[in-house]
Structure 1
Amino acid sequence: MRRGRPGALSRGMAERTLTSVGTAGPAGGTGAGSEDRAGPGGAVHERPAADRHEASRLWHVTLSVSGAEAPLQEVRRALEQLAHDHPFLLTSRYANDHAEIRYWEEARDLHDAAAVALRLWGEHRSTAGLPPWEIVGLEVIGRETYHQRVAEGYGPPPASPVGVHPY
């Protein structure tokens, strides 16, 4: 079943069916890692072998956070620590009350890439000393879409050189 607005797919994007992710129970119920899907009437059907081992893809992630003002030096130091702990971060831009983190994530699908991105700030808040800001924006796009946008001149704003930079 397709979810979302009719006609919401961009040119060149394939339509995908959304699936939920959960945890598998002790009896091997349907959830994360399970290879079965419930069909009509609740019957469980095994996925075709081709669907079981989807190759990972690259996703461009832009995570925006915002909150109460914090000293610029502390924000910079925290983002530098996050980049040191997780070298996959491409660039971070920051001000005293908001920041943007851009990076590439390798994941099976958009749902998995978004889930990782949504956990990033909270899971590393204490270890990197990040401000107690909330996530106010998330964009996750496929590699092909990212390159298409850039080629057509309407992609994300040009990234600062790799690293942590003020706005």
Structure 2
Amino acid sequence: MARGVDGTSTSGLPLWHVTLTVAGEAVTAAELRTGLERLVEERPFMLAVKYSADRAELRYWDEAEDVDDAAALALRIWGDHRASCELPAWRVVGIEVIDRETVHVRGVERPQTPLIVAGVAPF
């Protein structure tokens, strides 16, 4: 899945900006941050990861034929990496998958609130 930081695709597939929110029983911030940093190492395309004791929000670009495929892949990320990253047994509570054009329109409408912020950080 080759892609640029700005959401440009090198494979010719459409790009989708994904925001996945997971939540569950509270865990210690240090434990969660360590797991999320492992997730970023395993999935280096993550743009931003925000977290609190009982929820996390992952933002990234993904390549997929259509929005259905991008959403299906997003729904699997937490579960696919739970054991290897030692993530809590949380459930997906929200997902947003939007096309590149919509990201750019929103960015123009809200320049003071960027959609893309790199790194792992608390809410």
Q: Do both proteins adopt the same fold according to a TM-score greater than 0.5, normalized to the shorter chain?
A: yes
Structure 2 stretches of 5 or more lacking a match? 1-11
> Quick one: which amino acid aligns to residue 140 of structure 1?
V
Deviation for aligned residue 1:149: 1.4
Q: 1:86 to 1:67 in 2, by over 3 A?
A: same
- Between structures 1 and 2, the one with greater helix share: 2
Which residue of structure 1 aligns with residue 27 of structure 2? 70
Q: 1:83 to 1:139 in 2, by over 3 A?
A: same
* Conserved? CA contact 1:91–1:159, under 8 Å: no
Fraction of identical pairs, as percent: 50
Which residue of structure 1 aligns with residue 119 of structure 2? 163
Are 1:122 and 2:84 an aligned pair? no
Are 1:109 and 2:66 an aligned pair? yes
* Conserved? CA contact 2:47–2:116, under 8 Å: no
Size of the aligned set, in residue pairs, is: 112
Higher relative contact order (CA 8 A, sep 6+): 2
CA distance in 2, matches of 1:166, 1:125: 19
SS in 2 for 1:124: helix
CA distance in 1, matches of 2:103, 2:117: 17
SS in 2 for 1:87: coil
**RMSD of equivalent CA atoms:** 1.7
Q: Tell me which of 37, 40, 44 is aligned to 1:83.
A: 40
* Larger Rg over CA atoms: 1
* Conserved? CA contact 2:16–2:62, under 8 Å: yes
Relative to the length of structure 1, the TM-score reads: 0.64
Deviation for aligned residue 1:159: 4.6
> Quick one: which amino acid aligns to residue 115 of structure 1?
A
Q: 1:91 to 1:117 in 2, by over 3 A?
A: same
